[in-house]
Amino acid sequence: MKRKKIYPLLVLLVGAAFIMYEQYGDQLTEKSTYDPNDEIHGSRTQTTNSNPKELTNAYYLPSSTTGQVVHHEGYSLSYHEAFEQAEWVAYELKKNQVVYTDFKRPYFEVDNAVKTESAHWRNYKKSGYDRGHLCPAADRKYTKAAFTETFLTSNISPQKHGFNAGLWNKLEQKVRYWAKKYDGVYVVTGGILEKGLKTIGSEEVAVPNYFYKILLDNTNGQTKTIAFLMPHKDVDKPLYEFVVSIDEIEERTGIDFFPELDDAKEKKLEASTSYKQWSFR
């Protein structure tokens, strides 16, 4: 008699477990995270990544309006939880880092170094927008680990495909050209995050109307800068038509981009809209 009672109970337990898996199994998958330290230590350890890394040029780091700065091996970022993306991503691209290794593209993963949790890649699914890199994967092909960590969702922003593959890609290629020509450049990039933006996904990831990219070169001790502010559109115009002053981008974002520079030098560089020192050939 006891066995007859146990069998129905086992059937009920198995059925309940199956239902729970069907309901919550996908959620468990969605919470998976990628820690770039896994490739170094061989384990999935939690990290705040609060300290600058070996390749981080902290002298040129911008200010953070959120106080949530994360340092990865190949780039640093300031995450803005209200918009579910970075307000800026900064990194130095050296001449010897511009290589063309053909690594396989990994899956996008959430960034567990972001304490408030970075947006999940599924927000972009069927949204009509690309997962647009801020630090391009092509700028980090010098090692597989550096390439892979650009696929963290803290390093992406929603971009229209025509813009991502067109004007934005054109600028990214020009940055690599300048990095080789000037033996390295410092790059700061992001979207203009402001109230009233369209959002995508259940986490309401903001879609910027404008994207910016700021470059600094210090070849032979001579510092020069150039800044671009681009509308989020598929526009067929030469890059120099989008050159603006750093001051204009600071006013739009509230970010101080080069706070460690000498005040007089900073004021002069950030007010300039000249691009004569930069080769557009």
Catalytic residues: 133
Residue 135: which of 58, 71, 182 has the closest Cα? 71
In angstroms, the CA 89 to CA 111 distance is 14
> Are 191 and 199 within 8 A, CB to CB?
no
What does the block give as tokens for 274?
A: 């000249």
What does the block give as tokens for 38?
A: 């896994």
φ, ψ for residue 191, nearest 5 deg:
-100, 155
In angstroms, the CA 160 to CA 165 distance is 9
109 bridge partner residues: 152
What does the block give as tokens for 40?
A: 């170094």
- SS3 category, 253: helix
In angstroms, the CA 151 to CA 33 distance is 11
* Residue-wise DSSP of 170-218: HHHHHHHHHHHHTT-EEEEEEE---TT-EEETTTTEEE-SEEEEEEEE-
Maximum Cα–Cα distance across the chain = 93
